[in-house]
Structure 1
Amino acid sequence: MSVTRIGFIGTGIMGGHMARRLAQAGLAVTVWNRSLGKAEALERFGLTVAAEAAEAARDADVVVSMLSSGPICDEVLFGANAAADVMPPGSTLVVMSSIPVETARRQGELAAQKGIRYVDAPVSGGETGADEGTLAIMAGGEADTIGALKPVFAALGRVTHVGPTGAGSLAKLANQLIVASNICAVAEALLLAERGGAHPARVREALLGGFADSTVFRQHGRRMIEADFAPGGTARYQIKDTGTALALAASLGLRLPVATEVDRIFRGLVDNGGGDLDHSAAIVELRRINLR
């Protein structure tokens, strides 16, 4: 499978960095974004900007989607004037958005009907990982297809084949439950240290390298202490993922009490107008309100 021409759909906080890295790796990249200005900002890196998603997908060897949700992916990739409709037979659609497991499986079936390979490969690592090419990529699909995508994944981070179509999205849900729970725990722990009379930055320094250490603790802990919250993922996106994970758990007969409480915390903030806050800022604010 040739991998030289990339159509990249969705150039938001993470997608813009990812598309740029693909171009810098020597691939020919055409980008599309609903807010055209975000795509046009990439022209200085040698990327081509398309007016429509289907235009970005036409003649591409690989189309990468970094859209914000399952319904939007369905609409842009498989709806009216769909990107998938103009993809060449034998090309590959790589959905790196965070979408429900059942959505990924259904999209895989639709792609197969069009003679298109499909991989669900959501990522973790945030804007920093997208910018530096250190994303953790969780890929579901056929092993040979994922192997052929090495030039794409190598520019973006580290890929792991986690199972058949839908398994990548399942792994991302597991990731999001861990991340959301850790953000809450780190916020509470640092607030406890501060209110108890310790210097929170020094507490963070003391705990680095111990069992409490993690990427969330290192990155979000520092951001909480320094009140450095923009840009970043929002609280609204957290409940999209925690809600999806809890719905899947319920369908499997599983009860996840910690995840349920974390979801309740984020939903309470969103319901009170904080949905567009960075998720770390949101939890810090919510914790402070609850402990006043």
Structure 2
Amino acid sequence: MSLQTVAFIGTGIMGQPMARNLLHAGYPVRVWNRSAAKAQELSAQGAEVFNTPAQAAEGADVLICMLSDGPTCDEVLFAENGAAQALATGALVVVMSSIPVDTAVAQARLSAELGLGYLDAPVSGGERGAREASLAIMVGGETAAFEQGRQVLAAMGRPVHVGPAGTGELSKLVNQLIVASTIATVAEGLLLAERGGADPSKVHEALMGGFIDSPIWRQHGQRMLSNDFTPGGPAKWQLKDTRTALAQAQKLGLSLPVASLVDGLFAAMVEAGDGELDHAGLIRQIRRNNTLPE
């Protein structure tokens, strides 16, 4: 049985290693990226590179979209001569970007009108998870569409079907609120250790294996200690996600006070010019708030 042909739209920090893992799994992969050089890097590993999203989508069984936000996905997929229109009836659209819940629901409707399946399947795990094919993949959509795309998704991580269209994005919002709040608390904890006279790197080591141990404590805590904020997940995208989550909470009549405070910290970080830094760079904003050297 031949493997499905995959069109991969968006080969940036996350998309490139995700597409590479599909190639390593044997899938024929057709790629497009707005910055062509990033797509060309996959050519040597067997990907076909195209000049437009529609060209990449033509003949694909599964189209994966890994772009920055909802409006960009809408434009690339559903604008005139968009990628979705180049797919054959019965193909599957998989949006792995972090987009609003309502946008995913609308995209599912537009896909159905074109005779296409649809999944919203955002991911968590950062650049490292993308490289190691260990991403958590939260999938919304019809069961039949999930089964159609399950093996492709499994080549990039661990897909779990959480409910109808939009619920994958809802799950990602839950993830992003917890990630953002945890990063803020890790930053505050390490700063408290430092100012209290402890060696923060030793505190970091001492608490590993304890109740707070987590990938965020290990990876982002180490970034803070090393002052290395090369972006795996840029702060500007973290802010986008917290804003989206708070908007969704408001629609549901919920007040989320901790999330609102953390959103304000990330907003200040981006306004201070650190939006391109990794979200672990939030410790710089907390230092600024305390008039401490960054």
Amino acid at match of 2:25: A
2:16 corresponds to: 16
1:86 corresponds to: 86
Give the alignment of 1:23-34 within 5 angstroms. Answer: 23-34=23-34
CA contact (8 A) 2:231 2:277 kept: no
User: What TM-score does the superposition give when structure 2 sets the normalisation length?
Assistant: 0.97
4+ residue stretches of structure 1 with deviation over 6 A? none
2:58 corresponds to: 58
Amino acid at match of 2:24: Q
SS at match of 2:155: helix
1:288 corresponds to: 287
2:222 corresponds to: 222
User: Deviation of residue 80 (structure 1)?
Assistant: 2.3
2:174 corresponds to: 174
Whole-angstrom distance in 1 between the partners of 2:141 and 2:22: 21
CA contact (8 A) 1:3 1:151 kept: no
1:248 matched to 2:234? The reply is no
SS at match of 2:63: strand
Give the alignment of 1:36-185 within 5 angstroms. Answer: 36-185=36-185
CA contact (8 A) 1:3 1:62 kept: no
Structure 1 window deviating more from structure 2 (266-275 vs 126-135): it is 266-275
Give the alignment of 1:182-261 within 5 angstroms. Answer: 182-261=182-261
Whole-angstrom distance in 2 between the partners of 1:245 and 1:231: 22
Whole-angstrom distance in 2 between the partners of 1:272 and 1:225: 21
Identity %: 56
User: 1:123-178 CA distances to partner (integer Å, 9 max, x unpaired)?
Assistant: 00000000000000000011222123232112101111110000000000000000
Whole-angstrom distance in 2 between the partners of 1:200 and 1:223: 12
The change in CA–CA distance for 1:2 and 1:148 in structure 2 (over 3 A counts) is farther
Amino acid at match of 1:287: I
Whole-angstrom distance in 2 between the partners of 1:273 and 1:227: 16
User: Deviation of residue 197 (structure 1)?
Assistant: 1.1
Amino acid at match of 1:125: G
Amino acid at match of 1:54: A
User: Deviation of residue 2 (structure 1)?
Assistant: 7.5
Amino acid at match of 1:33: N
CA contact (8 A) 2:64 2:93 kept: yes
User: 1:72-108 CA distances to partner (integer Å, 9 max, x unpaired)?
Assistant: 0000000122001111100000000000000000000
Whole-angstrom distance in 2 between the partners of 1:115 and 1:287: 50
Amino acid at match of 1:232: G
User: What TM-score does the superposition give when structure 1 sets the normalisation length?
Assistant: 0.97
1:264 corresponds to: 264
Amino acid at match of 1:31: V
CA contact (8 A) 2:234 2:277 kept: yes
The change in CA–CA distance for 1:64 and 1:288 in structure 2 (over 3 A counts) is same
Whole-angstrom distance in 2 between the partners of 1:80 and 1:270: 34
The change in CA–CA distance for 1:105 and 1:163 in structure 2 (over 3 A counts) is same
User: Deviation of residue 195 (structure 1)?
Assistant: 1.1
Give unmatched runs, 5+ long, in structure 2: none
Aligned residue pair count: 291
1:7 matched to 2:45? The reply is no
The change in CA–CA distance for 1:2 and 1:242 in structure 2 (over 3 A counts) is farther
Give unmatched runs, 5+ long, in structure 1: none
SS at match of 2:31: strand
User: Deviation of residue 218 (structure 1)?
Assistant: 1.1
Amino acid at match of 1:286: Q
Amino acid at match of 1:277: L
User: Deviation of residue 230 (structure 1)?
Assistant: 1.1
Amino acid at match of 2:284: E
CA contact (8 A) 2:239 2:267 kept: yes
User: Deviation of residue 203 (structure 1)?
Assistant: 0.7
Whole-angstrom distance in 1 between the partners of 2:237 and 2:200: 27
Whole-angstrom distance in 1 between the partners of 2:76 and 2:166: 19
